[in-house]
Amino acid sequence: MSGEVEDVANEINLPPTNLYSDEPPLETDFHREQIELLIRLLKHWWRDRPDFYISGNLTVYYDEQQIKKRKFRGPDIFVVLGTEKKSRRSWAVWEEGGRYPNVVIELLSSKTAKVDRGDKKLLYQDVWRVPNYFWFHPETMEFQGFHLVNGQYQEIAPTEAGWLWSEQLGLYLGIHERQLRWFSAERELIPLPEEQERLAKEQAQQQAEQERLAKEQERLAKERLEDYLRSQGIDPDRLPDF
């Protein structure tokens, strides 16, 4: 009986499972730091959400031919919605209910720009059907985005600030201090935990300073009133409710 099961499995030619990622090293510190930044930010912003996965420089396996030819490797950054938030060795589409990334971001370089703008763009449009595709060059600041409309990529119009909207994530992508950052729908910069802590500390200091100034203004107003009363021959200390 076991032999029959093995024969059936061989005939079906089931795809491999539990594959390790097979990505080349990142080219520069710019690329590594940018990938880590976007991943860390979104994980912190959506820390209470259980239904998404974000990763970077991780292989997305989508068919056996792709594995054999090793023609395409994983995106620099990708986000999948409606899936379990957990750690993975790679993203194998057949192990993930047929889900492909909802958003892909590629970081351009002199070596990869032609492929990212050409072959990979066509792959994401025609095969993966990725709704939102962005690319960004960490050195030249080239930044562009596309959304899938009737099976074809159309360029996303930038805001006045040059940000690009992702309807999949409900967030903007934009350049801030020469790095790609997430912005909320309200167009506020999404902070890192340490930035959030620093901002809270600065706000507390500002509030304390405002309270100090208010007290100082109150003291000066009281002194001016006392001086005026004395100029009129009235002793403010003798006023019962002063």
Give the per-residue pLDDT at 204. Answer: 62
Q: What is the pLDDT of residue 73?
A: 72
Q: Are residues 182 and 212 in the same domain?
A: no
Cα 182 to Cα 200: distance, rounded to the nearest angstrom:
19
Judgement on whether residues 136 and 204 belong to the same structural domain of the protein: no
Nearest residue to 78 (alpha-carbon basis) of 99, 50, 49, 109: 99
132-136 and 103-107 beta bridge pairing: parallel
One domain for residues 48 and 66: yes
pLDDT at site 206: 76
Q: Which amino acid is at 107?
A: L
Quote the pLDDT of residue 149. Answer: 97
122 and 90 within one domain: yes
The count of domains in the chain is 2
- 184 and 80 inside one domain: yes
| Amino acid 20: pLDDT | 56
pLDDT in tens, 102-135: 999 999 998 889 999 999 999 999 999 999 999 9
Report the sign of the C-alpha dihedral through residues 85, 76, 20, 119, in that order: positive
Buried b (16+ CB within 10 A) or exposed e, 150-177: eeebeebebeeeebbbbebbebbbbbee
The number of residues making up the chain comes to 242
Q: For residues 14 and 101, state if they share a domain.
A: yes
Identify the helix (H) or strand (E) that includes residue 1: none
Residue 180 shares a structural domain with residue 202: no
Domain range for residue 107?
Answer: 2-190
Same domain, 70 and 131: yes
Q: What is the pLDDT of residue 5?
A: 31
- How is residue 143 written in tokens? 């930044």
CATH number at 90 reads 3.90.1570.20
Q: Compute the half-sphere exposure of residue 142: CA atoms within 13 Å on the CB side of its CA.
A: 11
Say if residue 40 is in the same domain as residue 116.
yes
List, for the chain, all residue ranges whose pLDDT scores fall below the cut of 70: 1-16, 18, 20, 22-27, 65-72, 197, 199-204, 208, 241-242
Whether residues 6 and 119 fall in one domain:
yes
Measure the CA dihedral 187/84/19/80, to 10°.
-30
Residues 171 and 234 in one domain: no
The pTM is what? Answer: 0.75
- Indicate if 95 and 125 belong to the same structural domain: yes
pLDDT at 226: 82
